[in-house]
Amino acid sequence: MIVAINFHINKACNAHCSFCFATFRDVRGRSPTHVALGVIDALADAGCQKLNFAGGEPTLRKDLGQLIRHAKGRGLVTSIVTNGFRLDKLLDEHSEALDWVGLSVDSSQETVQQELGRGDGTHVANFIRLADRCREHGVRVKLNSVVTALSWDEDMSALVRRIQPERWKAFQVLPMGGQNDGCVEALLISPQQFTAFVERHSGLVAEGLAPVVEDNDAMRGSYVMVDPIGRFFGNATGRHVYSEPILDVGVETALAQVGFVPAKFEARGGRYKWGSK
């Protein structure tokens, strides 16, 4: 049974993060609303419990609220990963159907965020505000941080303490052929540098804020992901591998085509107490 799935509902993004592993250079267009709704139904019927809407930037889709409400109506725990664009509007109009918001913050320094391709120098301050707004609306907060050559020697403890996420994930920047090659190379870090970043935040353990850690190996083959046109895709080979369309061949057949490894999903802590409203 597939319990947690990332649905990358579009490839468009208003940021220009040079490390992004999901640019979908090789995917044309995106699913219309009725197809996206059908994919959600198929995933729910197959046993999905938690559906995370990602991108690109998911809030760029005007039907995101409709998709979240539909998923919630099918009994799924709902989540998005966002750079904050249009999040205020989503919270105002659809927060009762949204369980989690994952905020993408890769450094506590505004200059580093800008150099990585996020924001105009106000990204960190805006996310502190948005984290507070999420909690005001009863939406649980996650923090996602990609650790790169610009941030591996940084101490983000003060920012994490301020945001107080229920779950903080630290990812070693991931090279992905056909997605970020030609852009990511200068940002890659060694396993030792990634370990140093993690150890620098060991003081957060007692506060329940220590990062959930995913190095390159942990990320490959351990996620169930759907692309913008309704196909599963996997990254176990170092490049994206796409299935046939889910609505054409069914969930089981399509998933078998992309190299998902359930044991790796469990090993990286993909199943946790995500709860629901």
Q: For residue 24, which of 13, 37, 39, 35 has the smallest C-alpha distance?
A: 13
In whole angstroms, what is the distance from residue 148 CA to residue 160 CA? 17
108-130 b/e (C-beta count within 10 Å ≥ 16 → b): bbbebbeebbbbeeebbebbeeb
- The domain spans of the chain are 4-267
Instruction: Decide: 241 and 178 in contact? Cβ < 8 Å.
Output: no
In whole angstroms, what is the distance from residue 25 CA to residue 27 CA? 6
In whole angstroms, what is the distance from residue 230 CA to residue 249 CA? 11
Which token pair is 212?
């959930």
Token look-up 């105009």 returns: 120
Tell me the CA distances in angstroms from 221 to 43, 47, 137, 234, 261, one per residue in order: 19, 19, 34, 6, 5
Catalytic center residues: 13, 17, 20
Instruction: Decide: 196 and 152 in contact? Cβ < 8 Å.
Output: yes
As assigned by CATH, the class of the 4-267 domain is alpha beta
**For the segment 122-178, what is each residue's pLDDT rounded down to a tens digit?**
999 999 999 999 999 999 999 999 999 999 999 999 999 999 999 999 999 999 999
Q: In what order do the strands lie in the sheet with 167-172?
A: 212-214, 167-172, 140-147, 100-104, 77-82, 50-54, 4-8, 225-226, 231-234, 241-245
pLDDT at res. 277 = 65
Integer distance in angstroms from the first to the last C-alpha of the chain? 23
Low-confidence stretches of the chain (pLDDT < 50) are none
